Structure 1
């Protein structure tokens, strides 16, 4: 039995350089073995991280490398499905940056290919690997805040000065909802186990065909939801689960350690607050370690494609609601 997973990365993206490349390098039972890029300057930081790293000039060359077991795909959003399918056809396990697809139905071909090949394929939805989210799920399930009434989420940053950024370009599948809406939508679904019944309102502002701000309200079977995401506001992130017997708030839900320390605040009606702290966990490393264990040992993978498809289905419902309101879709 293999002792570690040999990883390759398709493209020298900034996110791969700053987060996922180091995570693959640090994760137990994995090794960063190859990178596909024709730009020597962009390859240099990866080589410095992992001396002996093999550099392939093209993506197909990396997929043909027999010494690669799994590939991480951080390409622009509109390329994810195509290269995920190519990687699976090449016999590689696949971890694809979110969003894996631009519509829920586009997941179906990847799910079918995963089942056909027997390989692991997943969207890189790292937050479900962080212990704060498992604790939040457990607290809700055990009734720590009573009956859930309201969920609110917010995630924002400001990249208006970076016009060339793929998130600011419609042709690369950009937009705030595809980039960070997946977090507040998916986190709501993960903690509650519920799916939206209806999008009640969708106020969306666009620039150059890309959503840059949105306020969404939705009805779930047992609670109501409101969420704001934006690429034109000061950085902020927060998730709040409000029940009839308490309130649970995650203070750094999506970028712990970078945005701030990961904490869950449990507020009770008597005004007491209990804090749960998670000071050292790196969800990117934990994600890769879970992936390695699933590939090597067949252990449970907590973020199947079906879950990610559900988040995209909620995004699709938001687009439908926007179109129904007579605004651009």
Structure 2
């Protein structure tokens, strides 16, 4: 699969570009940027890269099969739809939309084109999440009672795109997607109600959120912030055991991926994945699915469910 990237985002240069380059069955062949100097970092690991001076020019490139979209959040829907209409498979950064109903446009374009379109929710491709899901749904920790998530980092730079309201910035769109989607993926359940949502704002973007939710058979609590010391963990608390993912979201970068299983008989088992790159696994899974070899692990319908929970949280806590 021949990939093109819309925009020379730093994350694309440091993470997803190298992942595409390293993935089996994938090749990074094109980049769209109006500033040729920004292409240098990409050409360092992909020396044959074609550089287009506009997004439309890349979409018109007949030698590009799939497009990765790392543009600012408010542009995700527009350019995902344009790419599908241009005959390209689409992997778009999260959040793929800022409201759940906006994802319907992408789903409709996907269905009309017969191509694959997905949100780049890479964590579901990491084996720690498949393992947690199998253990939980297999009854290893008994009846699930509560899910607890924390995901924080400190980014006070107002010039940073994540802190700009006009581009869809904010902590919940940036990392709340992971806090909500991780719980939904592992449990297979959906929230019945948001019972509490405290959201603090600075400069028109959310910078702290404390969320409680009712999932029917279990409760949920999360803290998401872009103004706190970096931390991340997910805990699934059952009546006979606890599953803890110690580095669920930035595995291999913030820390080593570990799953800790504590059972009621005072036994503890620790599983580790020190060398897994979930970005590479995501690209490889996308390629296999686009070729018809297997079902993709994170469909747009799943992403819509996560955004629906996000919309529920904002409705409860207010949008600033």
Determine which of 2, 6, 16 is the counterpart of 2:2: 6
Alignment of 1:296-307 (within 5 A): 296-307=291-302
Matches within 5 A, 1:193-208: 193-208=188-203
Alignment of 1:86-97 (within 5 A): 86-97=82-93
| 2: CA distance, partners of 1:52 / 1:276 | 40
- Matched with 2:50 is 54
Correspondence for 1:30: 26
Q: Is 1:112 the equivalent of 2:127?
A: no
Deviation at 1:62?
A: 0.2
Cα shift at 1:268: 1.3
Give the structure 1 partner of residue 67 of structure 2: 71
Task: Give me the whole-angstrom Cα distance separating, in 1, the residues matched to 2:313 and 2:158.
Answer: 25
- 1:140 partnered with 2:136: yes
Return the alpha-carbon distance in structure 2 between the equivalents of residues 194 and 46 of structure 1.
40
Secondary structure in 2 matching 1:240: strand
TM-score (norm. length: structure 2): 0.99
Q: Which residue of 2 aligns with 1:278?
A: 273
SS at match of 1:297: coil
Counterpart-to-counterpart distance in 2, 1:73 and 1:298? 23
Q: Aligned equivalents of 2:112 and 2:95: distance in 1?
A: 22
* Residues in 1 aligned to 2:196 and 2:266: alpha-carbon distance in whole angstroms: 33
Q: How many pairs align? A: 320
1:190 maps to what in 2? 185
- Alignment of 1:239 onto 2:259: no
Alignment RMSD (CA, Å)? 0.8
- The corresponding residue for 2:305 is 310
Q: Once the 2 structures are TM-superposed, how far is the Cα of residue 296 of structure 1 from its aligned partner?
A: 2.1
- Cα distance, 1:270 vs. partner? 2.9
- For 1:266, the equivalent position in structure 2 comes to 261
**Quick one: distance in 2 between partners of 1:298 and 1:286?**
15
- Kindly indicate whether residue 13 of structure 2 is the aligned counterpart of residue 17 of structure 1: yes
Taking the aligned partners of 2:158 and 2:99, their CA distance within structure 1 comes to: 24
**1:58, CA displacement in angstroms?**
0.4
Q: CA deviation at 1:61?
A: 0.2
SS in 1 for 2:90: strand
Cα distance in 2 for partners of 1:318, 1:38 equals 37
TM-score of the pair, normalised by structure 1: 0.96
Distance 2:94 2:255 in 1: 22
CA distance in 1, matches of 2:37, 2:248: 34
Task: Structure 1 unaligned segments of length 5 or more: list them.
Answer: none
Q: Any unmatched runs of 5+ in structure 2?
A: none
| Runs of 4+ deviating beyond 4 Å | none
**Which of 120, 124, 140 is matched with 1:124 structurally?**
120
* 1:220 equivalent in structure 2: 215
Question: SS of 1:145's equivalent?
Answer: coil
